[in-house]
């Protein structure tokens, strides 16, 4: 919701240097439409994924990132950074997935304080099984509703905003490849190449997105 006009500000708080640039009616509709699209689409795709495969969105994010990484492994800290989770949140999620045999933790021989998150064969099988259901949901609720020119326009607009956000304080926390993986909307390697109908990926090479 747009900040309310005339909102009181306590003494000592930062104030805008000039009159706030309130959104026009068109801008407000665009902003709220984007919020609704983003929230509803992610919720629907996540719901479809869970009902069809038993994997949560959190499961899928971890599995995709590891499936696209060299040797199907990442430092725990790097994995947390890529999906914008705290170390505590990743630790709890990882423990649940580890108990199901999807991932495992391996100590780092060069750093006693570090550990690797590793995708197991069972985890790889699960992401390969889930990817077709995931991409079908993305197509049904997003891609297939649009003309090719509209898809290209959304990509252009998204890239423009993402390029800006990567220069800001929050965006600088993430490696360049982080959010294309989190989005899980298709790629050149790993599980996302399965979304595109490709053959089983060669995980000996470093995934460009993972």
pLDDT tens string, the chain, 210 residues long: the values are 454 454 444 445 555 568 899 999 999 999 999 999 999 999 999 999 999 999 999 999 999 999 999 999 999 999 998 888 989 999 999 999 999 999 999 987 776 667 999 999 999 999 999 999 999 999 999 999 999 999 999 999 999 998 898 888 776 666 655 554 333 333 333 444 444 443 333 333 323 233
Q: Rounded to an integer, what distance in angstroms lies between the CA atom of residue 98 and that of residue 120?
A: 9
- The count of structural domains within the chain is 1
Q: In what order do the strands lie in the sheet with 111-119?
A: 73-75, 111-119, 103-108
Structural domain includes residue 201: no
CA 27 and chain centroid, separation: 26
| Residue-number span of the structural domain to which 141 is assigned | 42-195
Structural domain includes residue 19: no
Burial of 79 (0-12, 13-18, 19+ CB in 10 A): buried
Phi/psi at 32 (5° precision): -70, -35
Structural domain includes residue 53: yes
Q: Rounded to an integer, what distance in angstroms lies between the CA atom of residue 178 and that of residue 161?
A: 15
The secondary structure of residue 101, as a DSSP letter, is T
Q: What is the CATH number of the domain that holds 141?
A: 1.10.10.10
Evaluate whether 191 touches 131 at the Cβ level (below 8 Å): yes
Q: Rounded to an integer, what distance in angstroms lies between the CA atom of residue 59 and that of residue 29?
A: 33
Sign, CA torsion 154/158/159/160: positive
């Amino acid at each position: 919701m747009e900040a309310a006009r005339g909102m009181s500000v306590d003494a000592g708080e930062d104030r805008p240097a000039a009159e706030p640039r309130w959104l026009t009616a068109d801008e407000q509709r665009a902003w709220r439409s984007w919020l609704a699209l983003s929230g509803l689409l992610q919720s629907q795709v996540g719901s479809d994924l869970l009902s069809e495969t038993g994997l949560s969105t959190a499961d899928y994010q971890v599995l995709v990132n590891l499936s696209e990484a060299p040797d199907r492994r990442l430092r725990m800290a790097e994995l947390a950074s890529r999906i914008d989770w705290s170390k505590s949140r990743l630790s709890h999620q990882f423990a649940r997935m580890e108990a199901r045999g999807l991932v495992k933790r391996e100590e780092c021989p060069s750093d006693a304080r570090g550990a690797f998150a590793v995708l197991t064969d069972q985890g790889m099988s699960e992401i390969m099984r889930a990817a077709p259901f995931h991409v079908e949901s993305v197509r049904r609720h997003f891609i297939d509703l649009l003309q090719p020119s509209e898809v290209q326009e959304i990509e252009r607009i998204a890239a423009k905003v993402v390029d800006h956000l990567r220069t800001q304080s929050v965006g600088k926390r993430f490696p360049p490849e982080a959010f294309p993986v989190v989005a899980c909307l298709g790629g050149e390697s790993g599980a996302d190449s399965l979304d595109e109908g490709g053959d089983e990926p060669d995980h000996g090479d470093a995934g460009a997105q993972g």
